Amino acid sequence: MRRRPVNRTPLLLVTLGVCLTLIVLSGGGTLRPLENILSIPLNALAGLFSGAGRAVSDLTAGQRSPEEQAQYIADLETQLARITGEVVALREIGGDYQRLADLVNYVSQNEGQEVVAADVIARDTISSLRTFVVNRGARDGVRVGMPVVTGQGLVGRVINVSANAARAQLITSEFSSISSRTQTNRVEGAVIGLASGALRMTLLPQGAQVQVGDLVLTSGLGGNLPPDIVIGQITSTRQFESDIEQSAEVRSLVDFDRLEIVLIVTSFEQIDLSVFEPTAIAP
Amino acid sequence: MGIFLAFPVLMIAAVIQAVLLPQTPLIGGGPNLVFLLVMAWSLNAPLPEAIFWAIVGGISSDLLSAVPLGTSALGLALLVFLVNILLNQFYGLGLLLLGLAGLFGTFAFEFYRLAALDAFQLFGYIPADAPFNITWGNDIANVIAPVMVYNVVSILPVYGLLRLLQRRLPRIE
């Protein structure tokens, strides 16, 4: 394309004048406000592009030779294995923390009680017997009959003690019977374990008002357990006119299948009531 | 029409130059997009329009740089004048001129910018707390030479794209 002749000299002079004026004024700082205004659209564009730029940078940074890729994958696998181990350990610590927090909570709410924390180290091989072994025994002040609790409530009672271990029976055992009462109406009864692993409160007087949702606590009657330890919550009641008593299903807040740390209340001693039992008087 | 096109095209080019190219793993930083666009546009545009492109492109570059406003605009405008003179002297050598602009034009422009930077430091136009240590031999080898290579390689595709665009624009006589 042949161009039309343009008189270049005035254009050159104007261009030079404009550019040199800009340089002098800008160098002196006079144009700073104008530069700030002109920079606004450019900075907005730069903001838009910087995200894309990072993506491009990440993409190109990921380009490696096959050997480097293999090494990179191996390193990542090593890191993954290490981190997986750490995650497992941290989850364990988190679980322990929660359990200990519950126990601390129990201790702080029952300041009068002396307790020993114990790890559950074994469960009964005959699961229907529902007993477990803890790593605290006579050396730690554990005695037969002492209650075993967690932050969620009553777990069971110590039934055998060795020097450094003790066996406890869960309250869900069929052989367990605990004197108890409801929290609101103070209705007394006995919580027994069922073959299914559930709990039932029996011996409730026929006319007594038993509310669903009410908490069931130990009553302390019989001297086998201290009073006011939470056993569970009433989920339903059964009442037949033909019966002389009513019963209620109780759900414990304790997860008996996942017991790991428990507290043994060592400040409690069973009260021996045998002296009050009637005996044959010698003629 | 080309005047209006200068703003979006050159502003985006300047931003890409300042934001995207430094993040790509190109040795020496990559081509000077604003320079390429201004040179390629000036080959088939009227001189006033080409000068306008040079000033807009230069100011866009300077706004994203530490040099005073107008520094790049002056260098680009002078190069556009030179290209215009050569085009009128050697009619029909457009593409050859394009290659020469990519090679020697790049060298002249980048050299000028470094020299201007040095001079502005001397005159106190650039804050003393942000000094630029220019070592000429090192900068020519590591800054200017790579840009020359990238510009020579890129100028023909850029010219082709802009030529397509110029042909589609309504002609204002």
DSSP assignment of A109-129: H-TT--EEEEEEEEE-SSGGG
Q: Does A20 touch chain B (CB under 8 A)?
A: yes
Give the per-residue pLDDT at B38. Answer: 94
The pLDDT, as a whole number, for residue A253 is 87
Helices (runs of H) and strands (runs of E) counted in chain A: 3, 12
Beta carbons of B73 and A39 less than 8 Å apart: no
Please report how many Cα atoms fall inside a 13 Å half-sphere around the Cα of residue A68, on the Cβ side.
5
CA distance A72 to chain B (A): 20
Distance of alpha carbon A3 from alpha carbon B2, whole angstroms: 16
Position A1 scores a pLDDT of 46
Cα–Cα dist A160/A143, whole Å: 8
Tally of CA atoms within 13 A in the half-sphere of A151 that contains its CB: 13
Query: Which pLDDT score, from 0 to 100, does residue B81 have?
Result: 92
- Contact between B63 and A35 using a beta-carbon 8 Å cutoff: yes
Residue A62: closest C-alpha in chain B: B25
**CB of A209 within 8 A of CB of A185?**
yes
Which residues of chain A have a CB within 8 Å of the CB of B25?
60-61
Check if A37 contacts B (Cβ < 8 Å): no
Are B64 and A42 within 8 A, CB to CB?
Answer: yes
* Strand pairing class (A166-170; A177-182): unpaired
Of B100, B92, B145, B136, nearest to B118 (Cα)? B136
A127's tokens:
């699961």
Q: Cβ contacts (< 8 Å) between A1 and chain B: which residues?
A: 44
Instruction: Enumerate the residues of chain A whose CB falls inside 8 A of the CB of residue B46.
Output: 3-4, 6
pLDDT value of position B25:
65
pLDDT in 10s for each residue of chain B, 173 residues: 678 889 999 999 988 888 777 777 666 668 899 999 999 998 888 899 999 999 999 999 888 887 888 999 999 999 999 988 888 887 766 678 888 888 899 999 989 988 888 888 777 776 655 566 777 888 888 888 888 999 999 999 999 998 888 888 776 54
Give the gap in angstroms from C-alpha B94 to the nearest C-alpha of chain A: 10
Using CA of residue A7, residue A9, residue A14, residue A19, what is the dihedral sign? positive
The tens-digit pLDDT sequence of chain A (283 residues) is: 445 566 788 889 999 999 999 988 888 888 888 888 888 888 888 888 877 767 666 666 666 677 888 888 889 998 998 888 889 889 888 888 888 887 887 777 777 788 899 988 888 767 677 888 899 989 999 998 899 998 888 999 998 888 888 999 999 988 888 999 999 889 999 999 888 888 999 999 888 888 899 999 999 888 888 888 999 999 999 887 777 888 999 999 888 888 888 999 988 877 777 777 766 665 5
A21 neighbourhood in chain B, CB within 8 Å: 70
Summarised one tens digit per residue, pLDDT across range A33-79 is 888 888 888 888 888 887 776 766 666 666 667 788 888 888 999 89
Characterise B32 by phi-psi region: left (phi > 0), alpha (psi -120 to 50), beta (else).
beta
A46/B120 touch (CB, cutoff 8 Å), yes or no: no
Optimal mutation site among B7, B15, B64, B112, interface A, most CBs of chain A within 10 A: B15
ipTM value, please give it. 0.86
pTM value is 0.52
pLDDT of residue B76: 94
Size of interface A-B (CB pairs under 8 A): 103
Any chain B CB within 8 A of the CB of A2?
yes
pLDDT at residue number A60:
62
Q: Which of A12, A35, A49 sits opposite B19 (nearest CB)?
A: A49
Is the Cβ pair B55, A52 closer than 8 Å? no
